[in-house]
Structure 1
Amino acid sequence: MTTLVLVINSGSSSIKYQLVDVESGNPQASGIVERIGAQDGRVTHKGPDGKHSVELPVPDHEIGMQIVLSQFAEHGPVLDAAHLTAIGHRVVQGGSLFDGPALVDDDVLAKIKSLSPLAPLHNPAHLQGILAAKHAFGAVPHVVVFDTAFHQTLPPAAYTYALEKEIAKAHSVRRYGAHGTSHLYVSRAAAEFLGKDVTELNTIVLHLGNGASATAVRGGRSVETSMGLTPLEGLVMGTRSGDLDPAVLVHLSRTAGYSIDQLDSILNRRSGMLGLCGHTDMRDVNEAADAGDEDALLALEVYYHRIRGYVGNYYAQLGHVDVIAFTAGIGENDDRTRAGALRGLAELGIEVDPERNAGSKSEPTVISPDGARVTVLVVPTNEELEIARQAATLVGA
C-alpha cells in the first residue's frame, strides 16, 4: 500500500512538483514548469519512462497546472485523485500565524495573503499555485507547510530586534527565519542516522545553497537561526549580502542617491558571492580561486569566516554541541567549503577528516575523525519528503 502526496512549490514564474510515496520515502515522479507567463515556457517531467522536456507557451499558473496533469497522463505514473492522500504546498512565510502545517481553507488563504508584505516575491506566487491546484484537485485535501513554522519555537530573546517596540509591533518586525522545513528534516535525519532520539541532541544545521542559513537546534527545537525578517539576513549567499550594517543603506541613499528599490536589488540580486567575485556557483568560484583570482580567494574566505562566526555563536547559545550537519547543494557537494567553514575550530572539538570529507555525499556521512567531541555530518536534505510527511500526518493517513 502506498501513501501518495503530490508536493507543489509554486514560484512567480515556475511550478516545481514531486509525487512522493510517504511510506517508502521514494519519489515516483518530479518535474518543473518554467517561464510561466512567457511564450517560451518549458516543462520537464521525470517519470517511470525517463525524462521528458517540451517547450510551449504557459500563460499562467492555471495552464501550468493543466500541463503538469498532462505530463502525468502522458508519461506516468497515472495521477488519480482517488489515490492521492493529499496535495502538499510549500509556503515561505507563515509569520507568527502558523507554527505547523494547515489544511487549506478560505481563512488560511486569507492569512497567507495578509503575510505577503513579509514575502512579496513568494507568498503571492504560492497562492496562485494553491488555487490552480485546488481547481485541478478539488476533492483532495490541500495542506500548506511553512518554511517559517519550525522557527516559531525561537525564544523571545532570539526573535526580538532591538528596534523601537511600537514600530516593531505595528509592522510585524521580528526574526522569522527560513529553510525551516529543511532544518527540521536534517536535524531529525541526523539523529536517526546516529541512532539517537532527536530530543537528546544539540545540533547546528548548515543549509548551504544559493540561499544559505544556519540553525541551532536544541532537542529537536529551533532556538536560533540566521535568517531574519526576510531571507536576506545571515550567511553570505549566491547573490544576497547576508549580515550588513543597516547604516550602509542610509549611507548609500544619502551619498549615492540610491532608491529603496535600487538598494533592494543591490542587496538581494547583486551582492553575496556575485558581488564579491562575479560568480554565484561555488564550482565557478573554486575554479577561479584555483587559477589565482584574488577576488575569488577573498570571497571564499569571507564565506567561510561568516559560517565560522555563526558556528561559534550557536555553540555558545547551545552550551554544548553534539552534531554539526551540512546540507543543500553546496553543503552536500563541496568538500572545500565544508573544510574551510570549520577550519581552526579544533579547540571546540570540531574537526573534519580530509579523507572522509572528500567528494560529494548522496547519503548521510560522518566526516569528522573518530573520537571527535562533535560529530560532523553531511546529511542530504529532502524538503519534499518532509512536506509530504507533514501533509499525510495532518490528514490522518
Structure 2
Amino acid sequence: MSSSHVLVLNCGSSSLKFAIIDSNSAIEHLSGLAERLGEASPQIKYKFNGKKHTVALANGDAHEVAINQLVELVKSLKLDQQLVAVGHRVVHGGEHFTHSALITDTVLEAIKQTATLAPLHNPANLLGITAASDAFSTLPQVAVFDTAFHQTMEPQAFLYALPYELYKKHSIRRYGFHGTSHYYVSAQAIDLLGLKGKPSKIVTAHLGNGCSICAVKDGKSVDTSMGLTPLEGLVMGTRSGDIDPGLFAYLVNQLNYTASQIDTLLNKESGLLGISELSNDCRTIEESAAEGHTQAQLALDIFCFRLAKQIASFAVPLGGIDALVFTGGIGENSDVIRAKVVNQLSFLGFKLNNESNLAARFGNEGVITDQDSTPLALVVPTNEELVIAQDAAKLAEEL
C-alpha cells in the first residue's frame, strides 16, 4: 500500500477531535477540534504545517456539518487522496469486541446495543461514524474500542458481587476504559526497560480529567480501576470515583435527590472540583494549594492518596510491580502529583529522583526514579490517535 495515512476521529457529544496520521512514521499531518457543536458559536480549530487556523460554523451546526466542513478542509489541503481509512474511537465495546473492527452493519448494531452502558459516549461515537461513512464512502471505516484491551481480565477481576443473573441477562460487569492509552504506554515502557519478550509487571496510570490505572502483566490487562462506566475508581477532575453505594439511598431518601441529580453530582460536580470548590483543572489546584488554599491542598492530598493506594493494590493481580508509568495530561505534566504518589509508595522500593522528575515535564519521556530504585517509575506520553491509526491501517490493508 503506497500510503498509510489515516483520518482519526474522536466524536464527543458536542465536539469532534480529528487528526490525519501516517501510521508508519507516526507523523501527524493535520490535527484539530470542532467544538461547541449544536450550540452557539461552533467552530473548527486546526493545525497544519505548524500554523493554527480557526473556521467558524453557523449557530446550531452539529456533527454532520462539522464533518462535511472537515471533508472540504482535507480536500483543500490535498490530503484526501492519501487516505487509506478512517479510524473511530468508540468508548464502549462491551463484550462484543476484544480487538478493533472494520465497521459493518453487524458491528454498528453491536455498538448501538452497547450504548445503554455508555449513554454519554456511544451515541456520539455513532454520530461520527454515520457522518464519516457518508462523507468518506469509499474508505474503510474502523472502530477502535476503549474497552477492548481490558477483555483479557479474568472473571475474578471483572465481575461485581451482585446476583449473577444481572451479568448473564444485562452484561453488568467491569469493563474498564482508556484501553488504547494503557496499551500504548505499557508497550512503550516494556521496550524502554528492555523487557520485550520477558515477563513484565507494569502499572500504567492515565491521569487527566478522567483517570484510570491498569495492571498489565506480560502485555495484557489483568485489572483496571474503571468499571461498568468511567465513573468507578480514582478521584478525577469532576468525577467522584469510588463511593459507598449506600450514598444513593441517602441522597434520595434524606435529601430528595433524583436519579438525574445524583448522576450529575457524581459525574460533573465531584472530584477535584467538588473538593476544592475552585476548579477541575489540576494546574489551578496546584497553584492555589501552593498559595495556601486549604481545600485545594486537600483535593491534591485526596487525589494522590487514593491513587497511591490503588497502585499498591495492583501488586496483587500482578504478583509484584516492575514499573509504574505515568501518562495523560496530569501524569505527563504534574511533577508535583508524581512526586507525592511515588513518595507514598516508597515502602514498595520506589526512590524518586527529584531532578529527573522535574525534567520529565511537558511531553518529555523518561525514568523519574534513581538507578537503584526497584520498582522503577517513568513518564511516557500517550498517543491514542497513533494506536487508532495503526489499527485502522492494518485492517484496511487486510481487505
Shift of 1:198: 6.1
Residue 66 (structure 1) aligned with residue 68 (structure 2): yes
Structure 1 segments, 4+ long, off by >6 Å, are none
* Structure 2 contact 3–84 (Cα < 8 Å) conserved: no
Equivalent-residue separation in structure 1 for 2:349 and 2:392 (angstroms): 38
1:206 corresponds to which residue? 205
2:229 corresponds to which residue? 230
C-alpha distance after superposition, 1:307-356 (max 9, x if no partner): 11111100122112111100000000000000111223223112211111
Residue 267 (structure 1) aligned with residue 269 (structure 2): no
Residue 62 of structure 2 aligns to which amino acid in structure 1?
D
Residue 344 (structure 1) aligned with residue 335 (structure 2): no
* Structure 2 contact 275–295 (Cα < 8 Å) conserved: yes
2:35 corresponds to which residue? 34
Shift of 1:362: 1.7
Shift of 1:288: 1.1
How many residues matched?
Answer: 394
Equivalent-residue separation in structure 1 for 2:79 and 2:337 (angstroms): 41
Residue 362 of structure 1 aligns to which amino acid in structure 2?
G
1:252 corresponds to which residue? 251
* Structure 2 contact 3–83 (Cα < 8 Å) conserved: no
Residue 48 (structure 1) aligned with residue 49 (structure 2): yes
Q: Relative to structure 2, which stretch is displaced further, 119-128 or 309-318?
A: 309-318
* Structure 1 contact 7–384 (Cα < 8 Å) conserved: yes
Q: Relative to structure 2, which stretch is displaced further, 257-266 or 60-69?
A: 60-69
CA separation of 1:377/1:361 partners in 2, compared to 1, >3 Å: closer, same or farther? farther
Residue 7 of structure 2 aligns to which amino acid in structure 1?
L
2:175 corresponds to which residue? 176
2:133 corresponds to which residue? 134
**SS at the partner of 1:99?**
coil
CA separation of 1:31/1:211 partners in 2, compared to 1, >3 Å: closer, same or farther? same
* Structure 1 contact 69–79 (Cα < 8 Å) conserved: no
C-alpha distance after superposition, 1:54-97 (max 9, x if no partner): 222152221111111222334x2x122x4212110000000001
* Structure 1 contact 2–23 (Cα < 8 Å) conserved: no
* Structure 2 contact 94–175 (Cα < 8 Å) conserved: yes
**SS at the partner of 1:228?**
coil
Residue 318 (structure 1) aligned with residue 297 (structure 2): no
Output the TM-score relative to the length of structure 2. 0.96
2:19 corresponds to which residue? 18
CA separation of 1:198/1:238 partners in 2, compared to 1, >3 Å: closer, same or farther? farther
CA separation of 1:72/1:84 partners in 2, compared to 1, >3 Å: closer, same or farther? closer
1:392 corresponds to which residue? 393
Equivalent-residue separation in structure 2 for 1:328 and 1:269 (angstroms): 20
Equivalent-residue separation in structure 1 for 2:27 and 2:249 (angstroms): 49
Shift of 1:199: 5.1
* Structure 2 contact 17–33 (Cα < 8 Å) conserved: yes
2:282 corresponds to which residue? 282
Residue 351 of structure 2 aligns to which amino acid in structure 1?
E
Residue 36 of structure 1 aligns to which amino acid in structure 2?
L
CA separation of 1:312/1:198 partners in 2, compared to 1, >3 Å: closer, same or farther? farther
CA separation of 1:143/1:299 partners in 2, compared to 1, >3 Å: closer, same or farther? same
* Structure 1 contact 188–198 (Cα < 8 Å) conserved: no
**SS at the partner of 2:237?**
coil
1:122 corresponds to which residue? 121
C-alpha distance after superposition, 1:24-54 (max 9, x if no partner): 1111111111111134111111112611012
Equivalent-residue separation in structure 1 for 2:373 and 2:198 (angstroms): 21
* Structure 1 contact 241–272 (Cα < 8 Å) conserved: yes
Which segments of 5 or more consecutive residues in structure 2 lack a partner in the other structure? none
Output the TM-score relative to the length of structure 1. 0.96
Shift of 1:384: 0.1
Equivalent-residue separation in structure 1 for 2:36 and 2:331 (angstroms): 28
C-alpha distance after superposition, 1:157-189 (max 9, x if no partner): 000000011133322110000000100000001
Shift of 1:297: 1.1
**SS at the partner of 2:397?**
coil
CA separation of 1:353/1:198 partners in 2, compared to 1, >3 Å: closer, same or farther? farther
Residue 311 of structure 1 aligns to which amino acid in structure 2?
I
Cα-Cα RMSD: 1.3
The percentage of counterpart residues that share the same residue type is 45
Equivalent-residue separation in structure 2 for 1:33 and 1:305 (angstroms): 36
C-alpha distance after superposition, 1:270-294 (max 9, x if no partner): 0000000021111111111111111
**SS at the partner of 1:139?**
coil
Equivalent-residue separation in structure 2 for 1:139 and 1:295 (angstroms): 54
**SS at the partner of 2:343?**
coil
**SS at the partner of 1:145?**
strand
* Structure 1 contact 100–146 (Cα < 8 Å) conserved: yes
* Structure 1 contact 20–28 (Cα < 8 Å) conserved: yes
Shift of 1:364: 2.1
Equivalent-residue separation in structure 2 for 1:297 and 1:305 (angstroms): 12
Residue 372 (structure 1) aligned with residue 353 (structure 2): no
Equivalent-residue separation in structure 1 for 2:41 and 2:291 (angstroms): 37
* Structure 1 contact 193–364 (Cα < 8 Å) conserved: no
1:84 corresponds to which residue? 83
2:328 corresponds to which residue? 328
CA separation of 1:290/1:152 partners in 2, compared to 1, >3 Å: closer, same or farther? same
**SS at the partner of 2:137?**
coil
Q: Relative to structure 2, which stretch is displaced further, 226-235 or 248-257?
A: 248-257
Which segments of 5 or more consecutive residues in structure 1 lack a partner in the other structure? none
* Structure 2 contact 352–370 (Cα < 8 Å) conserved: yes
